[in-house]
Each structure stands twice: as structure tokens, then as C-alpha cells.
Amino acid sequence: MKSRMKLTSLMLLVAMVLSLVPAATLPTGASAAACYHAQFVADVTVPDGTKFEQNATFKKTWRLKNIGTCAWNGVTMIFDSGTQMGSVSSVAVSNGIAPGQTVDVSVDMTAPNTAGHYIGYWKFKSDQGAIFGIGVNANRPWWVEINVVGGTTTGVVYDFTANADKATWYSGLEPLPFPGTDGDNRGFALKKDKPKFESGVEAAQPGLLMAPRNITNGFIQATYPAFKVQSGDRFQATVGCEFGATSCYVAYRLDYETGGVARTYWTFRERYEGWTYNANIDLSPLAGKDVKFTLVINSYGSPVGDRALWGNPVIVRKGIVLTPTATFTGTPPTSTPTKTPTVPPSNCDKVQFIADVNIPDGTTLAPGAQFTKTWRLKNVGSCAWTTSYQLVYFSGEKMGAASSAYFPKSVAVGQTYDFSINMTAPTTPGSYRGYWMFKNANGALFGIGAQANKPWWVDIKVAGATVTPGGPTATPSATPTPLAGTAYDFAANACSATWFSGAGQLPCPGTNGDAKGFVLKVSNPKLESGATDSRPGLVTFPQNVQDGYIQGIYPAFKVQSGDRFQSTINCEYGATSCYAVFRLDYEEAGAIKTFWGPFLERHEGQFFNVDVDLTPLAGKDVKFILTVLAAGSPVGDRALWVGPRIYRAGSGSALPDLTITQLKVDLPNPSCLAPGDAFGLHVWVANNGQAAAGSFNVKFNDAQQTMNSLAAGETKSVFFANYNNPNNSPITVAVDPAGAITESNEQNNSRTETLQLITPTPPVPCTATPTQSPTSGWDKFQSTKYGFEFKYPNGAPISEQTDDHARIALSIAAGTNLLEKYVDVSVVEGTDPCKSPDIGGEAAATENVTINGIQFLKETGTGVAAGNIYDFVAYSSKAGNTCTSLTFVLHSANPGNYSTPPPEFDKNAESLVFDLIINTFDWTG
């Protein structure tokens, strides 16, 4: 829902009449609001924008809260204005709704018999006849908003659900069956006849449920047979998590393959928050091509609970009369969906609430006030809480907080600890409560109470003037330093574009509040989450009419293969009634088409990162168009594009490019036959990019070899022993299968080849010539107590040294945002699994690697704290009862800390010394 105001001549006439009535004959707004005051809580059914067939019947249910001082007895909900949709004029509300309680109120409705967009407004009436509603003054209505679809000339030409059995399903291991088995750790996909989305709405048409492989950042994908695309074809689907999958957090992706090359066409990030997204993507850039489309689901970190739905994924084409897709043909379910699912009892992990350290229940805060909430909680279970545990948002009002935060330290059984998280008070006066729980390392929720399955909460009241969106930050006079890799900056070149709305051409920059619509350049834009971004941005406000729009048409730009459009999109901070549509259009040869979108965005405290491949337009002179449309009323639609640009690898950005150049059955050293040598597989890897690559793996079958750096232009080889392929089957070798290296080209990282079965002639015995080691002359770090050693650069200072810990500071290149570089050496006795204790949370990626015959757990990731960034790679190995870890850290400052950021450091170059150090590690005891 979003605020709407209707000013009509009738209302003005009523206002004039009321102005002549003596004040004593009517209750004042203040007294009415104090006694009778409602707060909108949720659309239980039929969320805004739901589509219905003409004359379809449905039940609309709102959840509302009594935030006044009077109990609701004899209260009725009445139709106020707009479209009544065949409903009754009033409906009774349950009696006895005390202040602070919520109630669900339902009305049976019928969709109008003409296609269009409809809104109906409703309020309450007390038993004394006083009309009241929501908002600061208790005089605003709530509403039902639907779209009615009529006959269509667009029909389905390809149904991904119906053809799922013809697709090739894969999750990184062997091919998967379809349908799969629910719970299969390899990943699975199932057909759902009536998929139930996280919104609680059960779709009338079938879809696909996909769960990725049960590993960190796991995936599952389905590649379909080739389909010839025609101009005007569109991919359509409803995407969202399955109902009840509250820990679901995934990326949806539509990939395509032409000419043997696979690329990403569209991607969308989704977490369980009770909303769905209707994808409607123009495929015209692929017209005339035979395309293999791939539906992909990727987990963000842990895959626990990732159950992602594609609702009726289809390709539609104009001119074919079929039943329209993605509409509800009957009554949506009236059961009340909930975002507070039942948490099973916990035996091991249990919490006891001790105290509110600050912000006790009922604390009054100003609108938009920032605060830190701290709870004192005790571990009363039988399991210790490690730094892999998290404090997580559960339900209620989130108050601008992060969704989760890892424990800063371990908490033993019986210990008490103070847990804190930063929050922001809502901008509208009212009473708010948010519920929180813990999540263990396996992803299971637990909390307080006899069964350890109840949440604790933060409870505040907001009082004072409502926060309204302020003007944007003035554009700095100095030209901001462009981000690396920027081929075109839409914010910097905003006034090179021609801006239009329904009122005609607009000036640039515009005037804040102009009813015709306006565009404003902003520096350090404030996202709706409350965070400030250092990149430049654009506030785009549509014309102040129902379904108004604004668009900026930029000068022609020649697109190259690999170019990508990137931007963070959201509503401006404080624009709480913002509800707008973002779209990237383009003009070519006089025709305007949509390339990406429409993307519907409302102010809910989140933002979205757009990253769209422009390769289908390669070689063309294209006029790109940034478009924003109001979804109904434009009031408060301050749509914010942050850092909109075209990214191009090599445009001020140097990246490696790894590729396999040769496969050969050979001896370990082709020029020298040593005793015991056997034939194996030699793999040559080249770096054809512009920057050095750090450590990465090369994979053949189930074996992996680590290559510990590769300079730009350099080629190295790895050797897989005991090659055995009696059937002469094609073999596939992959470089950097875990995606540890960011590359300018990610499409050439594997090579499949059938090698001829030949027996090479063994070379004569010889003696290899030793080469100078780059670590020759380095200092040696030795632990006599725990029996290991390694080398490190001469003169590097050691601090914090004890038997089980030390820190070695390493030199860095000056003049960048890199603050320090170091390696933490830690030994922990009696721990299992053997992991680094120095990374402060969960690694983004883990893998097992072998270096010089020693098995390590390799952990990589990034930590962020108060404007600081910590990029880390850790190697941990176990000997007997001890776990030894070397954790290499690059500590840099967030560029957003600076008004003029220094150059960003070269991560690959700074990391090379890490690979050299770990390659000298050895056990001595």
C-alpha cells in the first residue's frame, strides 16, 4: 500500500460546508485520533497489483491494528471511495479489539468486467458514527488495488514447466533426474501444479520448484533445447521463494547459449520477505537466433532452506490468442499467511533472556532516530555458541536493521553475553515491535522459552513530526573520480540526455517538486536502507499524474561484446510512499524497445543491484533510456539510480583472464625420466588478461591441483598423475571451478577434448636443473612446540607472539586505500572441524586443497566493520590434536570514507606474497 490523496470538487464543497458547522458539533481530529486510530499491518490476501480475469470473484483481507485509546466495539469497515468492485458498503468488525490488538477484516469482491487498473478505498466507522482511518491524523484510507486483464493477443509459444523433462539438469556433479527427489543433497527440481509463493498466494498455473546443491554457494540449472526467438518474444515468470521457506536467499538467472557460448541475459536477487516479482523480459535482441535458454538458481552462501519457485515460466508471442499467463482465475486462498512460522523445539541450543541492556519496551524515539539495541542473553543449552552462529531478524518490524549478524565471539554453555544491532526508528509515529532469534551453524533457528523456539523482541514508540523526504545533496563542483571499468557514466552525463515526461521535455537538472517531473544529480546518495553510497546517483521523479512517467534519452553509444549495465536501484531514503517501476530501454534505428525490466520497487528498506549483459547489442550504436513509471499514484515516487553505468573490462580496470591452452598425456617431466614415473595428464593454463591472478584450482575428475599465482601473459602447467581412460571418452578440465578469481571473461574456463590413445616414448634419464626459488633468503618462522615452519619476507615485523599465536606485518604499495597487510598464525588444540579462528565469521567459500602434499581447508571471504574492509584467505591443517591456521588479511578502507577516494589497491598483486608463503609451509615434528 502507498499513500494516495484524492482532491475533487466534491471534497472541496464538503470542506466548505463543514467549515460553517460550529466546532462543538463535531469531534476534533485530535480527540478522534486519540480515541479511534488504526494502523495498517499487512495485505493478508490480494497484494497490490494482483491480476484477475474479468468478473473473477475474490476475498480481500487486510490486517489492521488498534493504536488508539478506545476499544473497538460496534465498529464497521465502510467503503470510502474509488471502485467498490461489487462488494457490500460495510462489514462488521469483530468486537472487543483492545488497544494494541490486531484484527483481520475481509470483504468478498468481484473484479470489474472491463480490463483496467482499479483501486477501492476503505475506512472504519465507530458505533457513534465517527469516521477514522490510518496515518498520523487517523484520517487516511487503506485500499485494494488490482489489475483486470481482458482478451489478449499474446500467447505462450514455449512452456518451460511443460518441457522440464526435456531439459538437461545439472548442479556441478553428474546430470540430475527430473523430477528429482525432495531433499536430495545434489539439488533437485519438482513440478508444482499450484505453487504457493511466500506471499501466501497459491498460483492457478503450474511452475517449477528448484533447490540448489547443498553446498555453500551451490546452484542448480536446467538447459533447454534450442528455440528460435522472434522479434517481440518475451520471457515471463513469477519468481519468489516457496511459502514457509523463511531462510531462502537466492539469485534467479536466465542464461542463454548461442554458437556454443553461454551468457547471462537476466538476473534477480530474492530473499523471503513476503513478496513476489513478475519478470517480463524482452527477448528481441536474440531475434532470429536458435537459443538454448537455461534457468539457474544460485544460493547466496548457505543453501539451507533455499526453495525457489518459477511460477509459470513461459515465452509469449504477440499474435497468438491463448489464455493469458500469470493471472489468478479464481479466488486466492483466504487462509492467513504468516511470516512467523513455527520453529521446532531445540535440545542443544537454548537461550535465556536476562535483560534489555538499553531501549526497554515502550521507549519513545523520534521518527528516523538511529539507535543500537542491546539484549543480554544467556546460553542455557548444552552446546557452545561459536562465531558461526548468527543473530537473525525473525518477524515484525525490522526497523532498518541488517537481516543477520554473526556472533563477535564464542559463548560457552552457562555464559551470558550482550548482543547488539543497529536500528533506525520508522518515520511514521506509532507503536512498533520486531522479533529476533538465533541461527546455529547448521541454519536451524532457536530462541527462548521452555522449548527454545520463541523469539525475543525490541518494542518502541515513535512520536513527533513525520519525516518527509528532503532535497538531494547538491552536486559537487569537482568531477568525481569514475569507478574502474566505467565505459559510460549515466549520472555524470545526466544532462547530456534529453529528459521527457507526459508534460513534454524537461530541464536538466530539474527543480525539486516540479509537478511535470524532474531529474536531480546527487552526490553521496542515501539509500532507502539508510546507508550512504559514495557513488553519484540520479533522483528521477515521474510526472505528478496517475501512472506518470519520466525518461532520459542518452546520446548514441557503441556497445561492445561483454559490456554490462550496472546500477543500484531503490527509493530515496525517507520516501516511504514510493512505489515505482524501473526500466532500461534503448533506441535503435528509430525504434524504442525495453532491454531490462520492468522492475517494481516499493520502499521496504532494501535495494537491488542490477547487472545486465549488453552483449546482444554489441556493434550497434544505441541510445539508452532510463525510464521510471509511477505504479498508480506518483506521490512520493523518488526513484533513485545509484552509480548507473556501462561497465567494460579494461576501461580503467585490469582483470585476469584464465584459459586452458593445451591438454596432453605425458610424463611428469617430459625431458627427464625418474624412477617410478607414470604417465598422467598435463594441463597448461594461460592468463590472457591484463592483471595477475592469485591462487586458484585446476580440476580434472575429482582431483584438484592448486596453481599459486599466474602473472598477466604467463602460462604454467599442472600435472595429474595416473591418467586412466581406457574407453577414450572425452575429458573435461576446468580452471578456477570455485570462481575464486574475478576475470574479464568467465566463459572460457573449461576445455573438453578427446585425447588420442598413444603411448609416448619415454625420455632418457636425466637430471633436472634446479631453479632459484623466489623465497630464497627469506626468514623462517618456526614453532618447536607444535612442529611446523614456513618462510616469510626478510625483516617483516612479528607482533602479538605467543606459543599459539603471532602476527606478521607485510609491506604494501603506498598511495592506495590499502591500510595494512598481515598474516595471523594461530594454533588451537582439540578443535573439530579445523578452521581458522581469525576470520571473525563464516567464510564465503571453502574448499579442500593440497599444497606440497599437505591437506588444507582453504577459506576465503570478506568482512566489513565500520568503514573497514577485510579480504581474507585462510589455510588450516590438522596434525594430531592441533589445528594450525595461517590467515592472510588485506585490510583496506571503504572508499566511501573519503570525499576524494584514493586509488583502490591491486588485490591480485598484493596477494601474490600469500601464495609464496603458504607454499613454504611444512611440518617438522
Residue 162 has pLDDT above 90, yes or no: yes
- 428-454 per-position pLDDT tens digit: 666 678 889 999 888 788 999 878 888
The three grid cell numbers given for residue 564, joined into one nine-digit string: 554490462
Which residue in this structure is represented by grid cell 544532462?
A: 495
The pLDDT score that the predictor gives to residue 519 is: 96
Residue in 733, 732, 725 with CA at minimum distance from that of residue 757 = 725
Do residues 626 and 548 both lie within one domain?
yes
The pLDDT score that the predictor gives to residue 670 is: 64
Tell me whether residue 478 is in a domain.
no
CA dist 47 → 42, 82, 153, 397, 433 (Å): 9, 17, 26, 18, 23
CB neighbourhood size of 666 (10 A): 15
Tell me whether residue 334 is in a domain.
no
Q: How far apart are CA 905 and CA 903, in angstroms?
A: 6
Q: What is the CA radius of gyration of the chain?
A: 31
The domain boundary, picked from 303, 318, 333, lies at: 318
User: Could you tell me the pLDDT band of residue 470, with boundaries at 50, 70 and 90?
Assistant: very low
Q: Which domain holds residue 164?
A: 154-318
No. of H helices and E strands in the chain? Answer: 3, 59
User: Could you tell me the pLDDT band of residue 491, with boundaries at 50, 70 and 90?
Assistant: very high
Tell me whether residue 229 is in a domain.
yes
- Residue 385's beta-bridge partner residues? 411
Tell me whether residue 324 is in a domain.
no
The overall average pLDDT reported for the chain is 81
Do residues 438 and 524 both lie within one domain?
no
The pLDDT score that the predictor gives to residue 832 is: 86
Q: Which of 362-366, 424-428, 670-674 has the lowest mean pLDDT?
A: 670-674
Tell me whether residue 323 is in a domain.
no
Q: Which of 296-300, 452-456, 470-474 has the lowest mean pLDDT?
A: 470-474
Tell me whether residue 439 is in a domain.
yes
Do residues 494 and 429 both lie within one domain?
no
The pLDDT score that the predictor gives to residue 720 is: 85
Q: Which of 126-135, 256-265, 318-327, 352-361 has the lowest mean pLDDT?
A: 318-327
For the chain, the straight-line distance linking the first and the last C-alpha, in angstroms and rounded, comes to: 68
Parallel, antiparallel or unpaired: strands 658-666 and 290-299: unpaired
User: Could you tell me the pLDDT band of residue 342, with boundaries at 50, 70 and 90?
Assistant: low
The three grid cell numbers given for residue 569, joined into one nine-digit string: 536501484
Do residues 796 and 700 both lie within one domain?
no
The pLDDT score that the predictor gives to residue 813 is: 83
The pLDDT score that the predictor gives to residue 762 is: 57
Residue 663 has pLDDT above 60, yes or no: yes
Do residues 865 and 725 both lie within one domain?
no
Q: How far apart are CA 758 and CA 740, in angstroms?
A: 35
Residue 81 has pLDDT above 60, yes or no: yes
What single string gives the DSSP state of each residue in 188-217? EEEEESS-BBTTSPBPSS-EEEEE--SSTT
To the question of pTM greater than 0.85 for the whole model, the response is: no
User: Could you tell me the pLDDT band of residue 822, with boundaries at 50, 70 and 90?
Assistant: very high
- 283-293 per-position pLDDT tens digit: 988 999 999 99
The pLDDT score that the predictor gives to residue 428 is: 66
Query: What CATH number is associated with residue 908?
Result: 3.40.1000.10
Tell me whether residue 469 is in a domain.
no
pLDDT greater at residue 589 or residue 352: 352
Do residues 134 and 188 both lie within one domain?
no
- 831-844 per-position pLDDT tens digit: 888 999 888 667 77
Tell me whether residue 762 is in a domain.
no
Q: How far apart are CA 97 and CA 74, in angstroms?
A: 10
Residue 781 has pLDDT above 60, yes or no: yes
User: Could you tell me the pLDDT band of residue 182, with boundaries at 50, 70 and 90?
Assistant: very high
Query: What CATH number is associated with residue 521?
Result: 2.60.120.1060
The domain boundary, picked from 647, 678, 694, lies at: 647
- 522-568 per-position pLDDT tens digit: 988 998 878 788 889 999 999 998 878 999 999 988 888 888 999 98
The pLDDT score that the predictor gives to residue 479 is: 35
Spatial contact of 241 and 270, defined as CB atoms under 8 Å apart: yes
The pLDDT score that the predictor gives to residue 861 is: 84
Parallel, antiparallel or unpaired: strands 639-647 and 486-489: antiparallel
* Total domains present in the chain: 6
Residue 476 has pLDDT above 60, yes or no: no
Q: How far apart are CA 614 and CA 628, in angstroms?
A: 20
Residue 17 has pLDDT above 50, yes or no: no
Phi-psi region for residue 284, left (φ > 0), alpha (ψ -120 to 50) or beta?
alpha
Do residues 585 and 633 both lie within one domain?
yes
The pLDDT score that the predictor gives to residue 865 is: 60
Do residues 516 and 564 both lie within one domain?
yes
Do residues 141 and 215 both lie within one domain?
no
What mean pLDDT is predicted for residues 26-31? 34
Query: What CATH number is associated with residue 709?
Result: 2.60.40.10
Do residues 493 and 630 both lie within one domain?
yes
Do residues 595 and 708 both lie within one domain?
no
Collapsing DSSP to helix, strand or coil, 248 comes out as coil
User: Could you tell me the pLDDT band of residue 672, with boundaries at 50, 70 and 90?
Assistant: low
Q: How far apart are CA 286 and CA 568, in angstroms?
A: 26
- 711-755 per-position pLDDT tens digit: 777 888 888 877 777 777 888 999 988 777 777 676 778 888 887
Query: What CATH number is associated with residue 313?
Result: 2.60.120.200
- Residue 874's beta-bridge partner residues? 859, 887
User: Percent of the chain beyond pLDDT 90?
Assistant: 30
User: Could you tell me the pLDDT band of residue 83, with boundaries at 50, 70 and 90?
Assistant: confident
The three grid cell numbers given for residue 712, joined into one nine-digit string: 598477466
Do residues 453 and 498 both lie within one domain?
no
What mean pLDDT is predicted for residues 597-617? 81
Task: State the DSSP code for 180.
Answer: -
What mean pLDDT is predicted for residues 786-812? 89
The domain boundary, picked from 149, 182, 206, lies at: 149
- 88-127 per-position pLDDT tens digit: 989 999 999 999 899 999 999 998 877 667 888 899 999 9
